[in-house]
């Protein structure tokens, strides 16, 4: 299938119909009226603004989250705007959940539509902002003023492309492209196709702007200067992994266009027997850690899991264990976190040589000798070799599973994960990892296929 046919079919599937548009318009009006009524009854000096993709008409037919901001003057206390917004939201929405992004805000449902109600301060330009969310109405206003009608569908096409390839969303779980970044990229390049043509040649550290000025530098894989706030990088959430994946995806799509880049086939989990056979052929050691999932929002959860993974890896290496890979899976059905470690299948020697300072550093030399002179772990007392001190000591752990069982709770973990681990965690052996709940995880990890190739 050629590129024109692919993009035409995708466009037909994601463009909101007149019926959908009419329904979303009525829902938005209804919520807006209820918000305004609550504001009047509470005598609040605030206004209501619709923001996000619904306001900019860049939403997808099957993804219609509604975002309302309650905008307050800067003279009102932060605590007051938060409390009133949460109280109002709980009166209007069902199944609500409080979240936090500098201000508390509310998520919930209104007639089966996902809705967010967020408080912010009214500002005329980004320099006046008191928190990051205060810029959002300015973003909406900017896009609505710059975007061409024909570009709205190009944005939808780009968003679906990112969704299909796992790159859409600036939230901590994904670390990809935000909706606002998508819109700016289409404004810059004019169309989805032009964007993809340029993006296949992006290099780490590329800086994109809509105006030619001198801007701050940012140490991120991609930089896109916010036209609303020149001190901000819109692409700051994009991880190295997702940046590299996206560049690869662009090249692959241009080489061989397919609908699966936009709508990937569902993963068919392998049988556990096949997973077991595949893992055993690798002749590596697989073990894991199982932790109860803390009751926190994803924006806090995923950074803590990644911190835990980094801590495991660095500490394992410090104890001389060879680790090839560490990955994690969040099982929302059972509220568990699985951290899976791929390590060298080995038992370390019972003793190890610990390197000390150069002999010419007299003070350090004396301290090293004093430190190890009467230590019970010493097998061979400090000695000199090639103008440096060494000592041979008994190794604390010779097996990685013993090390994790004894040391995991003392590692540098995320704040909420640390509290859970102090009470309970489980070290999983190879056979403990061969469970149905990890079937899809193992299939994706082992089959070597990208989402569009399945």
- 208/254 same-domain check: yes
What integer pLDDT is reported at residue 299 of this predicted model?
Answer: 87
What is the rounded CA–CA span in Å between residue 164 and residue 10?
11
* pLDDT band of 297, cuts 50, 70, 90: confident
Does residue 267 form part of some domain? no
- 440/409 same-domain check: yes
Quickly tell me which residue has 């990809």 as its tokens: 176
- 367/421 same-domain check: no
Q: By percentage, how much of the chain surpasses pLDDT 70? A: 100
Does the pLDDT value for residue 212 go beyond 90? Answer: no
Q: Residue 72 sits in a domain of what CATH number? A: 3.30.460.10
Reference 178, options 220, 101, 99, 236; nearest CA is 236
- 356/425 same-domain check: no
What token pair was written down for 289? 């850690």
What integer pLDDT is reported at residue 378 of this predicted model?
Answer: 93
**Cα 82–88–90 angle (5° rounding)?**
100
- Stretch 443-451: mean pLDDT: 94
Give the three-class secondary structure for 307: helix
Does residue 3 form part of some domain? no
304 phi and psi, to 5 degrees? Answer: -70, -40
List, for residues 105-134, the tens digit of each pLDDT value: 999 999 999 999 999 999 999 889 888 899
- Stretch 184-190: mean pLDDT: 98
The sign one gets for the Cα dihedral 168, 174, 175, 178 is positive
What is the rounded CA–CA span in Å between residue 55 and residue 66?
9
What integer pLDDT is reported at residue 337 of this predicted model?
Answer: 98
What token pair was written down for 322? 């060879």
Q: Are 237 and 298 in contact (CB under 8 A)?
A: no
* pLDDT band of 149, cuts 50, 70, 90: very high
Does the pLDDT value for residue 310 go beyond 90? Answer: yes
Does residue 385 form part of some domain? yes
Q: Could you give the angle at which helices 272-282 and 439-446 cross, rounded to 10 degrees?
A: 40
Q: Residue 299 sits in a domain of what CATH number? A: 3.30.70.590
Write the DSSP assignment of 105-155 as a string of letters: EEEEEETTEEEEEEEEE--SSGGG-SSGGGGHHHHHHHHHHH--HHHHHHH
**At which of 78, 105, 133 does a domain end?**
133
- 215/291 same-domain check: no
What is the rounded CA–CA span in Å between residue 400 and residue 281?
20
- 173/228 same-domain check: yes
What is the rounded CA–CA span in Å between residue 385 and residue 365?
13
- Stretch 150-175: mean pLDDT: 97
What is the rounded CA–CA span in Å between residue 83 and residue 399?
53
What integer pLDDT is reported at residue 130 of this predicted model?
Answer: 83
What is the rounded CA–CA span in Å between residue 133 and residue 204?
28
Q: Residue 369 sits in a domain of what CATH number? A: 3.30.70
- 178/253 same-domain check: yes
Does residue 4 form part of some domain? no
**At which of 80, 106, 133 does a domain end?**
133
Burial pattern 146-169, b for ≥16 Cβ within 10 A else e, equals: ebeeebbbbbbbbbbbbbbbbbbb
Write the DSSP assignment of 359-422 as a string of letters: TT-HHHHHHHHHHHHT-TTEEEEEEEETTEEEEEEE-S-SSHHHHHHHHGGGS---HHHHHHHH
- Model confidence, pTM: 0.90
Quickly tell me which residue has 């965690």 as its tokens: 425
- 99/61 same-domain check: yes
What integer pLDDT is reported at residue 238 of this predicted model?
Answer: 98
**At which of 133, 158, 182 does a domain end?**
133
What integer pLDDT is reported at residue 101 of this predicted model?
Answer: 67
- 343/202 same-domain check: no
Q: Are 54 and 66 in contact (CB under 8 A)?
A: yes
- 108/22 same-domain check: yes
Does the pLDDT value for residue 100 go beyond 80? Answer: no
157-171, 261-275, 407-421: lowest mean pLDDT where? 407-421
CA dihedral (390, 391, 395, 398) in degrees, to 10, reads 40
Mean pLDDT of the chain: 95
Does residue 138 form part of some domain? no
- 376/422 same-domain check: no
- 155/127 same-domain check: no
Q: Are 353 and 313 in contact (CB under 8 A)?
A: no
Per the structure, the complete domain to which residue 301 belongs is given by: 272-347+398-453
Does residue 314 form part of some domain? yes
Q: How many structural domains is the chain composed of?
A: 4
List, for residues 267-287, the tens digit of each pLDDT value: 999 999 999 999 999 989 999
Chain-centre distance of CA 364, in angstroms? 44
Does residue 320 form part of some domain? yes
Does residue 1 form part of some domain? no
């Amino acid at each position: 299938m050629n590129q024109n046919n692919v993009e035409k079919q995708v466009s037909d599937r994601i463009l909101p119909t007149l019926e959908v548009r009419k329904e979303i318009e009525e829902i938005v009006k209804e919520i807006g009226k209820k918000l305004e009524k609550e504001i009047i009854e509470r005598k609040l000096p605030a206004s209501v603004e619709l923001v996000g993709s619904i306001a900019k008409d860049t939403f997808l037919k099957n993804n219609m989250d509604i975002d309302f901001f309650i905008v307050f003057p800067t003279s009102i206390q932060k605590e007051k705007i938060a409390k009133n917004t949460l109280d109002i939201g709980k009166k209007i929405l069902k199944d609500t959940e409080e979240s936090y992004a500098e201000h508390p805000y509310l998520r919930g449902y209104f007639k089966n539509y996902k809705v967010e109600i967020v408080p912010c301060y009214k500002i005329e330009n980004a320099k006046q902002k008191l928190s990051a969310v205060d810029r959002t109405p300015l973003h909406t206003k900017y896009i609505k003023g710059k975007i061409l009608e024909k570009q709205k569908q190009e944005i939808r096409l780009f968003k679906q492309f990112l969704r299909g390839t796992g790159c859409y969303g600036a939230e901590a779980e994904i670390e990809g492209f935000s909706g606002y970044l998508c819109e700016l990229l289409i404004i810059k390049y004019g169309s989805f196709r032009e964007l993809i043509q340029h993006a296949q040649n992006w290099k780490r550290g590329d800086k994109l702007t809509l105006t030619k000025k001198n801007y701050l530098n940012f140490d991120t894989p991609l930089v896109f200067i916010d036209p609303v706030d020149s001190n901000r990088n819109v692409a700051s959430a994009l991880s190295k992994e997702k940046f590299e994946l996206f560049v690869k995806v662009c090249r692959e799509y241009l080489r061989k266009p397919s609908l699966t880049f936009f709508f990937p086939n569902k993963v068919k989990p392998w049988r556990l027997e096949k997973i077991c056979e595949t893992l055993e052929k690798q002749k590596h050691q697989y073990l894991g850690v199982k932790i109860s999932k803390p009751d926190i929002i994803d924006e806090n959860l995923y950074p803590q899991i990644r911190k835990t993974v980094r801590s495991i890896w660095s500490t394992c290496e410090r104890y001389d264990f060879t680790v090839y890979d560490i990955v994690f899976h969040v099982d929302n059905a059972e509220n568990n976190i699985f951290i899976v470690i791929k390590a060298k299948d080995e038992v370390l020697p019972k003793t190890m040589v610990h390197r000390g300072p150069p002999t010419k550093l007299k003070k350090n030399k004396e301290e090293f000798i004093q430190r190890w002179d009467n230590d019970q772990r010493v097998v061979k007392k400090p000695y000199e070799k090639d103008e440096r001190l060494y000592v041979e000591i008994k190794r604390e752990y010779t097996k990685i599973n013993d090390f994790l069982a004894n040391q995991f709770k003392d590692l540098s973990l995320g704040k909420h994960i640390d509290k859970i681990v102090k009470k309970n965690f489980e070290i999983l052996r190879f056979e403990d990892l061969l469970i149905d709940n990890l079937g899809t995880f193992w299939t994706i990890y082992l089959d070597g296929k990208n989402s569009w190739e399945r």
